[in-house]
A = this chain, B = another copy of it.
């Protein structure tokens, strides 16, 4: 290991070495090697009212080598840890798909593959994340490339200084890994972040130079924002002290996206502490907007049974359950019987959403928390 590691990599590496040492020590003492992995189950997830995000409980599952039903997963866990260790040593990153291919082979002397398919590998990667208490990005593993950003922000990405106010119509493609070792903020004049759901809406805001007129940073996540986007929003919020406003569709999916940005994801609760933004605000589209904005019947999209079910589930989330405004919002959606996309505002005028709707809501501090 000639490479000099940065602090974060050195820390992750230390945890990997401790993991390996514990297994080796058990083997040397003639004990059954095992690892205790925090349980990633719904029953081990709770909403922390003080921290205001979802976090994992303390339940763990023991995974033993000398247990017929656990031996394979134990081996897979060690394989992923080894793979990650190599990535850090080589100072390279891989997609979860790439890591899968790198680790997939037949176990020596057998026709038994280490991993059957990607679906068998992904949960083990998550296991190693929680086991090491490291974000996937710290393990040098990334998922999807999606989302974009533009606005009054100068950042440094891998040594390149990038002025996000000078990126034309395309903007800055959000990388999968936006950790401080890769990306540093150099200068920020923006006063807030506006996060919109879709790239098409983002283009409308960018074309109308909303971020310039309103001095903000404009981001989108290409639908449900991938981890890189959430982590970027988190860093913008916490390091640069920028409020984050979300403009999403008026449907259960939009509510859910907001919920994940705000409180974290239920499936991956362990990342909440470095992803969730409890102070994120929901600007719209609101259920009252059909009436308030004077929209016509033609923009209504009928709620499906699944929509109704999801809306009720979301209304029951602990972080929404005690908020009268949210209960009212969701009830109104159900009473309306229809949903509204952000694009529906275009029926008023092409730039209604950028020149009236959003500035007016911001000025009136008219949002849901």
Contacts and interface: CB of A to CB of B under 8 A. Distances in A.
A158 B105 CA distance: 49
Interface stretch (A46-54, A258-266, A272-280, A340-348): A340-348
Interface in A30-75: none
A97 interface: yes
A306 interface: no
Given A104-B347, A113-B298, A160-B168, 8 more contacts: A93-B203, A94-B350, A97-B341, A98-B343, A98-B350, A145-B203, A146-B199, A162-B166
Contact of A170 (B114, B175, B296): B175
A317 interface: no
Interface of A: 87, 90, 92-95, 97-98, 100-102, 104-106, 113-114, 142, 144-146, 148, 156-162, 166-177, 182-183, 199-204, 207-208, 222, 296-299, 341, 343-347, 350-351
23 contacts: A87-B350, A90-B350, A92-B208, A95-B200, A95-B343, A97-B200, A97-B343, A98-B200, A98-B204, A101-B341, A101-B343, A101-B347, A146-B222, A148-B173, A157-B168, A157-B169, A158-B168, A162-B166, A169-B175, A170-B173, A172-B172, A172-B173, A175-B203
Contacts of A98: 200, 204, 343, 346, 350
Contact of A167 (B100, B172, B299, B344): B172
Nearest to A163: B160
Contacts of A105: 296, 298, 347
Given A157-B167, A166-B160, A169-B157, A222 B145 contact: yes
A351 B90 CA distance: 10
Nearest to A165: B160
A350 B104 CA distance: 13
Nearest to A157: B168
